[in-house]
Structure 1
């Protein structure tokens, strides 16, 4: 089944894969929506006017409505029994609402948001209209870090995506800069100016970042491999040395990242060098 929220009639529609509509649901005050619905545990969550709605998929009936002080402007994210979403002008908050009890777990002020939240490893990531991307603790709402991206009148509309210990997003101004930050502490890793406005949400597959731009181009980025990082976890550890030894004896195929000595072969010497990198004695 495919679920979509219409911006023309404000309804939540359910379609078969052949395009035939099976049912729809109308929530009060739900017109002019530009967000998607989220599913979890047999339930659908979507914003409608000044409320977050929860609909039972099996019965197609409303389970509950949680009213807020302004229009819900983001697609919700659901994790561990909590639904997260943000509101727009007149309130400008990020909410965490308990699904079972329909009570507010916490809320935090933002400068408005059209960027939907992303959840990873107990953290919530979201951008706002002041070009700031925030990272909050999902359980407590405590802000862990924030970073300013661009400048201008529109802010971060691009919903962040988290992969490989990094968070990716884009700023919606004339440079259309794409950003990569360390997901744990917000340390900037790289950025790239597309030269045009950017509201698209990035996607990551097999280590490659894909994102579209108002320039009419689709961009693909891939971080260069780290020498010695053979299990591709973005760190050089003793586990990589073990893999190197397996390569040295032919138990597994050798790859370029294992050739620490640069002599076009993988030996136990390379494993020793990886151990030294892991210990901080030498650089990769």
Structure 2
């Protein structure tokens, strides 16, 4: 699924060999591609700009099936069991048979778009432009529960065994009980965009003013707690309190220069973020201290992925960069003919990514 798994690790750190950037095959379409593929059991599934959901042989790029839809598909698919799940621009969510591409069920949200689904334990989680987070039975498409935020949901939820974390354009990160759909905590992230990432006790966000934040998802908001904090903030502003009361759940926050574009990558020791200005930053996972910085020639549009010892990210000029996760040194680069707005995906010893030139690339 998008960003690899329900916690959005975006990492295949157990891969023995890091891809070297040699083109194995290329699949061409007629319109720009923004969707990131999902690769399962030797097949690759992708939403296409030319109004299709397609399945390809992941080793050769040969078309296996296609399912036509009413408009371009930007959302990335999720594969679970015998099904492929994908969101559309018109707010529909589709479940397709992964072997044939036949429609199994569809669900219409109230928004004008649906985000990439996250599927876990027979439940599909999806955000919509109507501001609702939906949980759907993966077999039937029936709603299990729904949670309303105060704005559009344009990013994908991150999920662990206990909670669902989702960003909304109401300027909050919403932490919701996975089993009941009830709010545990909402944390003010005014300038955040992209998806959160979960690791251990914390959920991580990166925002447009360069702030990386680690939030303790165990914390719960008590009744009237926001009003009490507001009063304490006023007292601090007038000098009656020495310290500004911290936001509930804050573990740490760190600042790096630049507008951060997407979800952080979190490993055992490190945290990696990228800025739209073309920088990649490696931070200490426990502190947020900057360990190294890499600077590209172009602007970044989408999240990174970690494969073996390399970080991979595409820029606005059509260059895919491979960067050492340990040192920040450039390993290699691969040129395409248009901006790269998708997240690279690692599987089968290869790296797959799409470009706005309408092509899907498979690199060894």
Task: Report the TM-score, using the length of structure 2 for normalisation.
Answer: 0.55
Q: Which of 200, 204, 211 is residue 273 of structure 2 equivalent to?
A: 211
- The equivalent residue for 2:250 is 188
8 Å CA contact retained: 1:51, 1:65: yes
Q: Which has the higher strand share?
A: 2
Gapped runs of 5+ residues in structure 1?
Answer: 226-284
- Residue aligning to 1:65: 106
Gap change, CA 1:20 and 1:210, over 3 Å in 2: farther
**Which stretches in structure 2 are left out of the alignment for 5+ residues?**
1-42, 220-247, 288-364
Of 95, 110, 113, the match for 2:134: 95
Higher relative contact order (CA 8 A, sep 6+): 2
Note the C-alpha offset of 1:224: 4.8
Match of 1:160 in 2: 196
1:98-117 equivalences under 5 Å are 98-110=137-149, 111-117=151-157
Q: Counterpart in 2 of 1:198?
A: 260
Which structure 2 residues correspond to residues 170-181 of structure 1 after superposition, within 5 A? 170-171=206-207, 173=208, 175-181=209-215
Report what 2:35 is aligned to. Answer: none
> Contact between 2:92 and 2:114, CA under 8 Å: does it hold in 1?
no
Distance 1:70 1:166 in 2: 30
Which of 175, 181, 192 in structure 2 is aligned with 1:141? 181
Q: Secondary structure at the match of 2:113?
A: coil
Equivalenced residues, count: 214
Higher-helix-fraction structure: 1
Match for 2:123 among 51, 60, 82? 82
Match for residue 290 of structure 2?
Answer: none
2: CA distance between counterparts of 1:193 and 1:11?
41
- Residue equivalent to 2:305: none
Residue by residue over 1:245-284, the C-alpha shift from the partner in whole angstroms, topping out at 9 and shown as x without a partner, is xxxxxxxxxxxxxxxxxxxxxxxxxxxxxxxxxxxxxxxx
- The structure 1 segments of at least 4 consecutive aligned residues displaced by more than 6 Å after TM superposition are none
Deviations 1:213-261 (A, max 9, x none): 1121111122359xxxxxxxxxxxxxxxxxxxxxxxxxxxxxxxxxxxx
